[in-house]
Structure 1
Amino acid sequence: MTDRASGAPGSPLRGAALLGALALLATGCGARVEGSADEARTVTVNRCGEEVEYTTPRRAVVYEGGSADKMFALGLTEHVHGYVLPPANPPVSESPWAQEYEEVEFLSDDLLNRELVVDAEADFVLAGWNSGFSDERGITPEILDDLGIQSFMHTESCYNYPGHPERMPPFEALYADLERLGAVFGVEQEAAELVEGYKERVAAVREQAPEGEPVPVFLYDSGTDQPFTAGSQVPPNDIIRFAGGENIFADLDERWTQVGWESVVQARPEVIIILDYGDQPAEDKIEFLKSSPATAELPAVVEEDFFVLDYNEGISGPRNIDGLEKFAEYLRELRAD
């Protein structure tokens, strides 16, 4: 998700045998490991279509819940120095990794910026393009490279990253991030097992998807004059389609984007997903949809078929899988009525 003014999205190796195992595992996710027991570990990993050499980071700064969740899910808490969490993010106490958040430093509730990263003495920054990294705010991977600070971008956000674009479906991008971060930090096996588990959960959902025509679904992020919604390049599109629905804006080759209310009305969504922010409660958005003449007669509004999706279930991160399972259960129950 793009940033808003309101806030809103080497260690030594232990022997040649371990080195060989790491090299073998890294090959599976497009990484190349170099080094020996007496040298710093380096690995070459794809970053948005660009091959980048990393040494194992020790003071990572992560931006937003999705970045932190990826690190925590991989068991990399000790490598995280701190996190930046704008107001749009729900409280960390609600996270499955609440304990891990307590073990690292809260750095800021503002947008990511270069001064913060330098002051934190970070050796690695994890964020998305236009969701953390930004030309306008002067914090890009190239700028950090010049400062000697490593960086990694969410693959989902590479779609519109200038110079080295990379495109893959949102859930595939999540898996790629976990595998690539696993290579950067030397936890390839943990990453492989995590991804395998997520894929199994997704497959189970798809097997249970309701039969018949997909339910037309509109994701309402924000906006009153024009709604902000999800195109085909962000996780909610996969959440909707894997659960058995159809994103009414799946034909938009975009990430998060503005549309017109006329397009929403014409699509006649039967379900509306409300993206729930910490600073823009779902209840307020639902009330607007009920009271606005443009949307009050939509089938989903008339039937009050609203599904609330947590912010961190909608941006790229492990909680996408939780959001999928919850929405899939909602659709199954809706079809059963």
Structure 2
Amino acid sequence: MRRFVPVLLIPLLAGCGAQVAAPAGDTVTVARCGEQVEYRMPERAVAYEGGSADKLFALGLTDHVLGYVMPPANPPVTESPYAAEYAQVEMLSDDLLNRELVVDARADLVVAGWRSGFSDERGITPALLDGLGIQSAMHTESCWNYPGFPERVPPIEGLYEDLRRLGAIFRVPERAAALITDMRARIAAVEAAAPDGQIPVFLYDSGTERPATAANQVPPTDIMRVAGGRNILADVDGRWTDVGWETVVERRPEVIMIMDYGTQSAEDKIAFLKSLPALRSVPAVQNDRFFVLDYNEAISGPRVIDGAERFGAYLRGLA
């Protein structure tokens, strides 16, 4: 078990120009991917991307959130159902998560995903933050290839587990339990109403030479499944990946799910796909069956449930 030892001041890496006080007090042991970690009660949490922040806000933890880091790909927080909560905390950066930002903010907890926020290449990992006395929590669905402590959980189950773990870390387990119960009921209703069969679905994220898309370890694959669909790339072990257009043609999706984010609009993405000669034989293109999924419905967070409900209604409408 990794222990966070309370000390008065923890020296930080050279050049960071700040020190972090480690508060004393009781700890609670909670899993971080496959590792058991002791957590102090956080008071200055930093969230990376909408999914992390939304989880904290959905649990009523706004008062414990210092701020958020929101890269440009994320839609404006003013469009979020948690817009009022975002307005109460600080936007720390509109770039990628980095160590200096977290240190300068005197964060005592960072919530992000493995290789979605935390990154060996960019020099910000849970292990490195442990050495600085800064706690971290990771999205369970991103843990499948976390070095040393992997954990494989289906994405929607991972969302529930994240809420349960954050509820334990922040000492509000009853809030987490109530929220999970509500989400499970909503997903069960989507599954109960799903059309018979598994409609083949392809997610288009971006890309021209090779499309970026979803493999089996990200929320859209679960959204498709509970709604009555099947990701045509569910046999690809990974999170976000890319394939050749010939694979899309061979697997003949009946629906194309469009990831709505970035500088290219969903309408422009649809127009591009319709313009590709290679896709003219694909049933989804022939029948003009495109569904637009919001960015925050596609990453681990409470809005995944909204995405499942919306996609379920869309597939039922095709019957």
Which TM-score applies when normalising by structure 1?
0.87
Residue 260 in 1 paired to residue 237 in 2? Answer: no
Pairing of 1:145-160 with structure 2 (within 5 A):
145-160=130-145
Residue 214 in 1 paired to residue 198 in 2? Answer: yes
Structure-1 separation of matches of 2:217 and 2:276: 28
Residue in 2 that maps onto 1:271? 255
**Conserved in 2, the CA contact under 8 Å of 1:87 and 1:279?**
no
Q: CA deviation at 1:326?
A: 0.2
The one-letter amino acid of 2:216's match is S
How much identity, in percent, do the aligned residues show? 69
**Which runs of no fewer than 5 residues in structure 1 stay unpaired?**
1-9, 11-38
Residue in 1 that maps onto 2:17? none
Residue in 2 that maps onto 1:68? 53
**Conserved in 2, the CA contact under 8 Å of 1:128 and 1:153?**
yes
Residue 232 in 1 paired to residue 201 in 2? Answer: no
For residues 221 and 310 of structure 1, do their structure 2 counterparts lie closer, same or farther at Cα, with a shift above 3 Å needed? same
Residue in 1 that maps onto 2:97? 112
Residue 326 in 1 paired to residue 307 in 2? Answer: no
Residue 187 in 1 paired to residue 172 in 2? Answer: yes
Partner secondary structure for residue 277 of structure 2 = coil
Structure-1 separation of matches of 2:278 and 2:46: 43
Q: CA deviation at 1:280?
A: 3.1
Q: CA deviation at 1:259?
A: 1.1
Residue 55 in 1 paired to residue 58 in 2? Answer: no
The one-letter amino acid of 1:231's match is A
Structure-2 separation of matches of 1:322 and 1:76: 21
Q: Deviations over 1:52-97 (max 9, x none)?
A: 0000100011000000000000000001000000111011111110
Q: CA deviation at 1:281?
A: 1.8
Q: CA RMSD in A?
A: 1.1
Structure-2 separation of matches of 1:293 and 1:139: 43
Partner secondary structure for residue 103 of structure 1 = coil
Report the count of equivalent residues: 297
Structure-1 separation of matches of 2:181 and 2:262: 31
Partner secondary structure for residue 83 of structure 1 = strand
The one-letter amino acid of 1:261's match is W
**Conserved in 2, the CA contact under 8 Å of 1:60 and 1:81?**
yes
Residue 306 in 1 paired to residue 290 in 2? Answer: yes
Structure-1 separation of matches of 2:237 and 2:151: 14
Q: Deviations over 1:264-310 (max 9, x none)?
A: 00011110000000433212211110111122331111211100000
Q: Deviations over 1:166-211 (max 9, x none)?
A: 0011111000000000000000000000000000000011000112
**Conserved in 2, the CA contact under 8 Å of 1:289 and 1:296?**
no
Match of 2:75 among 90, 100, 118: 90
Match of 2:113 among 128, 135, 147: 128
